[in-house]
Each structure stands twice: as structure tokens, then as C-alpha cells.
Amino acid sequence: MNHRSPSRILIMTAVEAEQQAVLRGLGSYDGADVQLAGVGPASAAAATAAALARAGQVADGAYSLVVSAGIGGGFAEVAGMGSLVVASEIIAADLGAETPDGFAGVDKLGFGSPRIAVADKLSARWAEALRTTGLSVHYGPILTLSTVTGTVDTARSLIERYPGAGAEAMEGFGVAEAARQFGIPVLELRAISNAIGPRQRELWKIGDALQALEQACAKLPEVLLS
């Protein structure tokens, strides 16, 4: 039989390079499983739900926390490249409708909420612990989009709609929605690889972001145990 601690956590990353960075950071900590979500909210939701369902079929296998972790784009002047953003809230920023008066979120349309609350005390503690690493850390909403932002106009309208947002990525809301449906608390962390705005892939600092992701995950065990 597989004996697992009841406080086991599930960490979902989009791609293998992120998964490896998370595993390097966790080191010898054996209270976490790190699984691949794939890219985008649909793949992330399906992969997370499948992982949670599989775990629920094993005695004592259920997870007590789900974490969406990886690299992401940072909003200028809030989260620079190589910095970290810990989510205070996870927002599906493009889930809604365009109208003549601008974007209307699913909440305005009467189809539920585009926002999922995080395990706030734990996420605030993680952000606090990360500040001791010397890395710059922003605690604020993280946006989930199916399409990476590629213009100044879109970046501006996102920050107007979601003041205080620090980062965007493509999986958080999918991971969080699966966790919500299983009744499990969620966190999201993004290490910033690029500035949100006009696409300049050659300027992405993926290595720095993966290193920051590793450092952030090295702090997670002590935060979970505190």
C-alpha cells in the first residue's frame, strides 16, 4: 500500500523545464508531487483534475494543497525579469465577452466568477519568506490568459481591469478551478521571464526565471511546515 502524509501537496507546471526547476528547489523534501499540466488553462484543468482523481483512489492519497508554478510575464514597474510574483488571487482575465462598451467578465454575464481565492495566509507567508532570499517579490493577482499578451494596448487594458496584478501566465486558473472543484486550497507562483507587452522572444530571460523558480520552491517546505 502507498502510505502518504495527509499534508501531501500537488505542484503543477506547464513544461518539463519548469518541473525540473521545482524539483531542484524542493531538493530532498518528499511531501510533494510535481506533475505536468501542459500549456494553457484547458490542459491544466484536465491534468490537475486527473491527478487529483487518481490520488483520491489511493488510501490516504488525497492532496491537501495544489500549487500552480512556473515562469510568466511580468507587468512593467511591478514585476521585473527574474523577480517573483505570489498570487493573492487567481483571475481568468480573458473569460468573458467583448461588448461595444468593452470587456465583460463572466461575472457580469451572470456565469459565475473569473476569480479564485488562494490559501491567503499560506501565500502571504510564502511571499514573506521569499523576501529573505534577496529576490524581488510582488504579492498580487496573477492573471490567466489563453493568449500571451503581445501589445502595449492589451497590457494597458489588463492593468486597468485588474489593478495590482503582477503577472500573467496560461495555467493558473485551470489548475485552481480543478482544485476548487475538489475542495482543495490553491496557490500560484510565477517567476518572471519576460515583460508583458510587444512580443520579443529573444529578450526572454528563461534561465534567470527558472533559477528564481528553483529558489522559490526551496523555501516552500519551511513555509508549509511553519
CB of 21 to ligand LNDFFVEH, least distance (A): 8
Residue least distant from ligand LNDFFVEH (Cβ) = 73
CB of 64 to ligand LNDFFVEH, least distance (A): 24
107 vs 195: CA distance, rounded Å: 28
Nearer to ligand LNDFFVEH, 34 or 196 (CB): 196
Nearer to ligand LNDFFVEH, 168 or 214 (CB): 168
> What would you report as the CA-atom Rg of the chain, rounded to the nearest whole angstrom?
17
CB of 59 to ligand LNDFFVEH, least distance (A): 33
Is residue 85 within 8 Å of 189, Cβ to Cβ? Answer: yes
Helices and strands per DSSP (H, E), number in the chain: 7, 10
State the sign of the Cα–Cα–Cα–Cα dihedral 198, 173, 165, 22.
negative
CB of 117 to ligand LNDFFVEH, least distance (A): 20
What are the residues binding ligand LNDFFVEH (CB under 6 A)?
14-15, 17-18, 39, 70-73, 148-149, 168-171, 193-194, 196, 206
Among left, alpha and beta (phi > 0; psi -120 to 50; other), residue 73 is beta
Nearer to ligand LNDFFVEH, 14 or 224 (CB): 14
CB of 101 to ligand LNDFFVEH, least distance (A): 26
Residue 26: CB atoms within 10 A of its CB come to 19
Nearer to ligand LNDFFVEH, 168 or 177 (CB): 168
C-alpha distances (whole Å) from 91 to each of 3, 116, 210, 217 are: 35, 6, 23, 22
